[in-house]
Structure 1
Amino acid sequence: MSETPLVTLAPDGVVRATRAMALASLIGLIVLGLAWELWLAPTGNGSLALKVVPLLVPVLGLWRHRLYTYRWVSLLVWLYCAEGLVRATSEHGMGRWLAWLEVLLCLLLFAASAWQVRWRLRRARQASEQGSAP
């Protein structure tokens, strides 16, 4: 089984656009989580705002185009999506709308991360094939 070697390529339009979408949706999830639990529809004493702490970790990796970060954030985001779906079906009023917004941001983050990974791996494979051609 042969693996595609990673080739460092300059970011193109798709890479820049998906990074912007991933960063925007990730920052949106952070802001939403804090605003939701501290001001808009707090549950309890605001300790649920700590749920955004794991979302702070990938910000720098996405900013620096780290492919590995895109891969694992596309898995992490499903925890937040599940929370959003549960709360969207169990809460009322403002909490329900915030939960649906969380689900939407999660789907955007997943789509951007998946697209980023697939696009960059395809470009690396094409570059390595062109480099090995006689």
Structure 2
Amino acid sequence: MTEPVLSIPPPADRPASAAGIPTSAVRRSRWLAFTAGLALVALGLLWELVLARTGGGTLAIKVVPLVLALPGLWRMKLYTYRWLSLAVWLYAAEGAVRVNSAPGREVALAGLEIVLSVLLFTACAWHVRARLAAGRLIAAVA
């Protein structure tokens, strides 16, 4: 007795993500993550080099991990979204420390850093969740 052969439905019957096309949730989370990451890089550079220079601008090096993550975010590398969702809390922690200890306008910059960090984390978590859900859907159809 032979086992039944599972056939894969034709591309028209398969979900969009099965054909290699990202779902709308994946596309939206990618754009949100990329935009928030880019904004966090811009804020870090402007803060350390122009708006509130501390340490002669050497603290601008803190944006290097974000700059390295941007190509992975753009290419939708799942690994990048995963490690960045953990690393972004370092920026949120820095913002939390500075919001309580910084003088004047730096408090607003620190608050913005916290907001962008939480937004980036949310977008990364949303992206990972949407990609994994799409993968489960493909596995169920196949």
TM-score scaled by structure 1? 0.89
Query: For residue 25 of structure 1, what is the aligned residue in structure 2?
Result: 36
Distance 1:99 1:67 in 2: 29
Per-residue CA deviation, residues 62-119 of structure 1 (Å, 9 max, x unaligned), is 1001111100000010011100100011112111100000000000000000000011
SS of equivalent residue, structure 1 residue 57: helix
> Which segment drifts farther, 8-17 or 111-120?
8-17
Query: For residue 106 of structure 1, what is the aligned residue in structure 2?
Result: 117
Count of matched residue positions in the alignment of Structure 1 and Structure 2: 125
TM-score scaled by structure 2? 0.85
Counting only pairs closer than 5 Å after superposition, residues 50-129 of structure 1 correspond to structure 2 as: 50-129=61-140
5+ long unaligned stretches in structure 2? 1-17
Per-residue CA deviation, residues 2-46 of structure 1 (Å, 9 max, x unaligned), is xxxxx7741121111110110011000100000000111111211
5+ long unaligned stretches in structure 1? 1-6
Distance 2:77 2:90 in 1: 21
1:47 partnered with 2:58: yes
Cα distance change, pair 8–82 in 1 and its aligned pair in 2 (3 A): farther
Identical residues among aligned pairs (%): 50
What is the RMSD computed on CA atoms of the aligned residues?
1.2
Distance 1:35 1:55 in 2: 14
Runs of 4+ residues deviating >6 angstroms? none
